[in-house]
Chains A and B, each alone.
Chain A
Amino acid sequence: MDRKRYEEAKRRYHETLERCGCREGDFTTVSGFPVRPLYGPDDVEGLDYGEDLGFPGEYPFTRGVYPTMYRGRPWTQRQFSGFGTARDTNGRYHYLLDHGQTGLSVAFDMPTIMGYDSDHERSEGEVGRCGVAIDSLRDMEILFDGIDLGEITTSMTINAPASILLAFYLCAGEKKGTPFEAMGGTIQNDIFKEYIAQKSWIFPPQPSLRIITDILAFCADHVPRWNTISISGYHIREAGSTAVQELAFTLADGFAYVEAGIAAGLDVDRFAPRLSFFFNAHLDFFEEIAKYRAARRIWARRMKEKYGAKDERSLLLRFHTQTAGCTLTAQQPENNIVRTAFQALSAVLGGTQSLHTNSMDETLALPSEKAVRIALRTQQLIAHETGVVNTIDPLAGSYFVESLTNEMEEAAEAYFRKIDELGGVVAAIDRGFFQREIQRSAYEYQKAVERGSKIMVGVNRFQLEDEQIEIPLLRIDPEVERRQIEAVREVRAGRDNDKAARQLELLGVAARGSDNLMPAIIECARCYCTEGEIIDTFKGVFGEYKEPLFI
């Protein structure tokens, strides 16, 4: 169609649209981007295939980080799980592996996340409740009993104490005869998003960054298959951000880690290839797909242009996705299976490298075995029944998706400028910038749901009266805490305590100096120092973080 005929047809269409009238309603994305009734060639004017999209596996990687994508290998089905003792969770891991799961992902309990041993007074009532309790190398050995750590890859959702849990894991593998360099996996190790959203911090930003850069350097030399930071938007989104904020804040964090690594004297290509990402898959289908595509393009461009990365692997934004826990409803929980399926599909169409699908019962308790099996089956259905894996980046070239991808990128760039004006990520955290932005979005979203302008099925529309919940829930036996306390005390009683004390002493010396901390942490792990003992040693040197308060 030539330009003249196109313009005429377009005018005719818009007149018809006007005449017919559209219904009233909220036609915005979950993030609040207005969406037009129709997208066409004008919306992607200037889009250059080579410059803006490229082939899969080619710069700027908008279409995917690998040339073959799911035609080469499907995403890793990685369900996040952990509860009770290491023995309880080991049972769940065997169950998931027996049902076809292809990677492991450890959820730790709150005391482990916050660096307290199970017998610490702050741990009371929390042990094994929302994850597995790990106090020392002994628990890690039990957690992976019967699992080959040279075969499977493991992701660990751990941040402030990431260096310690990584040391426990490496030592557990070593005891089974797997060398460090043969082990693959991920530690979350993303402290910025803790200050911003997830709020499980221990130390102030500067010593936290020192620990992180020590991990980057150590793994580059000794654990080359390890993903050293999983730069996470997931929690930012769960705390209430929009998709754009998730995209912008996560990438800003990523760039700040790159800058920290460079400032610590590391060559960018020595550590950047092992940085990975973790995004949320929320409700707005196309917005999510645009988010993943924009993320790849922004990362590749900045890494190349701003940070001078030469190794192509430094440019690849590889990511894990989890469906959005905050969108699950306590009302009619079975509906969550459907929500999760749509969210998972968006992650797959967005080119995720691995995926966790939430279980329907997670607003009520930890997931039961049946609920988690259905969640895993949802991924298997997408992989084997829907046909969406047959071709790579199938939505490329869609006027709407490309236009939304551009819009997401522009909005993220505007946030980067704002963060720069504030003096960078750490300064913006100190000033509560991210926290306020997220808090405002969360409150706006809640008000939109309460006004009814955002419809949530079963919550503000299509409710059931006198609803009875009919799904079985997993309960954590209070005995777990008592057993775990006994276990950690047995570890302390059974080890060479002089040696343990000496190693902790050396760890303190390392912390006060500037040597890489990882070797000292690994020595502590080997002689069964507990997580709490190691953290306390660090607290004595680094101090603790205090959050800025506001509502």
Chain B
Amino acid sequence: MARKVRVLIAKPGLDGHDRGAKVVANALKDAGMEVIYTGLHQTPEMIAESAVQEDVDVVGLSILSGAHMTMFPRVLGLLREKGAADMLVFGGGIIPAEDVEELEKLGVARIFGPGTDTGDIVSFIRDRFPAN
């Protein structure tokens, strides 16, 4: 049997808004993926470390404090340093359109804003890991 897609859902930064992260984690789990949740208040270092240790295929970052332009690029950079540049990184939260553009240029595969259907996140991951 093919290995299930492994996803790390992570909360970088200091905010405690974990509703979205947990809803997405549950939806991915219900869609048959392996989901690991980091808990709150994670530094980019902690997230990159967990991603590598857990050997995940996908990293989902959720942030609502406005610190995304600091946290997301740092996670991407650390993953690259650890030889995990191929991990698919996506994000969600209160992120203005112009920052979304910038983050996608930097290598975040997609930002899902408020009002996203969890089905869209599932198919976004499925499209990239069709065999799993």
Residues on B with beta carbons closer than 8 Å to the beta carbon of A456: 115
Q: Which residues of A contact B41 (CB under 8 A)?
A: 114
Closest CB in chain A relative to B103 CB, distance in Å: 13
Given contacts A110-B14, A459-B115, A551-B22, contact A469 B97 (CB under 8 A): yes
Q: Please name the residue on chain B nearest to A550 by beta carbon.
A: B37
Bound-state CA distance A331–B115 (Å) is: 8
In the bound complex, residues from chain B placing their C-beta under 8 Å from that of A240 are: 19, 23
Say which one of B51-59, B62-70, B81-89, B123-131 lies at the interface with A: B62-70
- Complex Cα distance, B103 from A9, in Å, reads 66
> Which one of A46-54, A124-132, A300-308 is at the interface?
A124-132
Q: Which residue of A lies closest to B66 (CB)?
A: A129
- The answer to whether B13 and A199 touch across the interface, beta carbons within 8 angstroms, is no
**Which of A178-186, A211-219, A259-267, A438-446 binds B?**
A438-446
SS class of chain B's interface: helix, strand, loop or mixed? loop
Bound Cα distance from A439 to B37, whole angstroms: 14
In chain B between 1 and 37, which residues have their CB closer than 8 angstroms to a CB of chain A? 9, 13-19, 22-23, 25-27, 29, 35, 37
Query: Is B94 a contact partner of A549 (Cβ separation < 8 A)?
Result: no
| A329 and B66 contact, CB distance less than 8 A | no
Residues of A within 8 A of B40 (CB): 199, 547
- Cα distance A238–B39 in the bound complex, in angstroms: 18
B26–A547 contact, CB under 8 A? no
Q: Which of A444-459 contact B (CB under 8 A)?
A: 446, 450, 456, 459
Closest residue of chain B to A365 (Cβ to Cβ) is B96
Residues of chain A at interface, number, CB under 8 A? 42
A113 at the interface (CB under 8 A from B): yes
Question: In the complex, how many angstroms separate the beta carbon of B26 from the nearest chain A beta carbon?
Answer: 5
Q: Cβ of A239 < 8 Å from any Cβ of B?
A: yes
Chain B proximity mask over A212-243: 1 for CB below 8 Å, otherwise 0: 00000000000000000000000000111000
Judging by beta carbons under 8 Å apart, are B67 and A551 in contact? no
Contacting pair B66 A547 (CB below 8 A): no
Take A330-B115, A443-B26, A459-B115 as given contacts and tell me if A126 and B19 are in contact as well, using a CB distance cutoff of 8 Å.
no
Report if A110-B19 is in contact (Cβ < 8 Å); known contacts: A330-B114, A450-B117. Answer: no
Q: With the chains together, A476 CA to B22 CA distance in Å?
A: 28
Given A110-B65, A551-B26, also A126-B14 (CB < 8 A): yes
Considering the complex, give the chain B residue whose CB is closest to the CB of A201. B16
> Contact at B16–A446, with CB atoms within 8 Å?
no
Question: Once the chains bind, are B118 and A199 in contact (CB under 8 Å)?
Answer: no
| A537 interfacial by beta-carbon distance below 8 Å | no
CA A114 to CA B14, docked complex, whole Å? 7
- Tell me if B71 is interfacial: C-beta within 8 Å of chain A: yes
- Residues from chain A with a CB closer than 8 A to the CB of B25 are 551
Interface contact A110-B67, CB-CB below 8 Å? yes
- Neighbour of B16 across the interface among A116, A199, A442, CB < 8 A: A199
On chain A, the residues within 8 Å of B66 by CB distance are: 126, 129-130, 366, 476
CA distance in complex: A187, B79 (Å): 41
Q: Which B residue sits closest to A238, measured CB to CB? A: B19
With a cutoff of 8 Å between Cβ atoms, the chain B residues found around residue A239 in the complex are: 17-19
How near does chain B come to A20, taking the closest CB pair, in angstroms?
A: 36
Q: B119 contacts A126, CB within 8 Å?
A: no
Q: Is the CB of B16 within 8 A of A194?
A: yes
Q: Does A541 contact B (CB under 8 A)?
A: no
Q: Is A364 an interface residue (CB 8 A)?
A: yes
In the bound assembly, the distance between CA atoms of A280 and B122 in angstroms comes to 31
Q: Which of A116, A129, A238, A329 contacts B65 (CB 8 A)?
A: A129
Q: Which chain A residues lie closer than 8 Å to B43 at the CB level?
A: 122
Q: Check A147 for interface membership: any CB of B closer than 8 A.
A: no
Decide if B70 touches A125 in the complex (CB within 8 Å).
Answer: yes
Contact residues of A between 248 and 278, Cβ < 8 Å to B: none
CB of B95, distance to nearest CB on chain A (Å)? 9
The answer to whether A329 and B115 touch across the interface, beta carbons within 8 angstroms, is: yes
Interface centre among B39, B40, B94, B115, by most A CB within 10 Å?
B115
Do B117 and A551 touch across chains, with their CB atoms under 8 A apart?
no
B16→A200 contact, CB < 8 A: yes
Mark interface residues in A328-343 (1 if CB within 8 Å of B CB, else 0): 1111000000000000
Q: How far is the CB of B55 from chain A (nearest CB, A)?
A: 19
Most buried by B among A114, A125, A130, A363: A125
Q: Closest residue of chain A to B117, judged by CB?
A: A450
Q: Are A446 and B118 in contact (CB under 8 A)?
A: yes
Partner of B35, one of A200, A365, A476, A551: A551
Q: A363 to chain B: which residues have CB within 8 Å?
A: 94, 113-115
B-side residues, CB < 8 A to A, are: 9, 13-19, 22-23, 25-27, 29, 35, 37, 39-41, 43, 64-67, 69-71, 94, 96-97, 113-115, 117-119
Q: Which 4 A-B pairs have the closest CB atoms?
A: A125-B70, A199-B16, A129-B66, A125-B67
In the complex, given contacts A113-B14, A551-B29, what are 7 additional A-B residue pairs having Cβ atoms less than 8 angstroms apart? Answer: A111-B14, A126-B66, A129-B67, A198-B16, A199-B18, A446-B118, A551-B26
Ordered by A's residue number, 29 sampled pairs between the chains whose C-beta atoms are within 8 Å are A116-B14, A123-B14, A124-B67, A124-B70, A125-B67, A194-B16, A198-B16, A199-B16, A199-B17, A200-B14, A200-B15, A200-B16, A240-B19, A326-B19, A329-B114, A363-B94, A363-B114, A439-B22, A442-B19, A442-B22, A446-B23, A446-B27, A450-B118, A547-B39, A549-B37, A551-B9, A551-B25, A551-B26, A551-B37
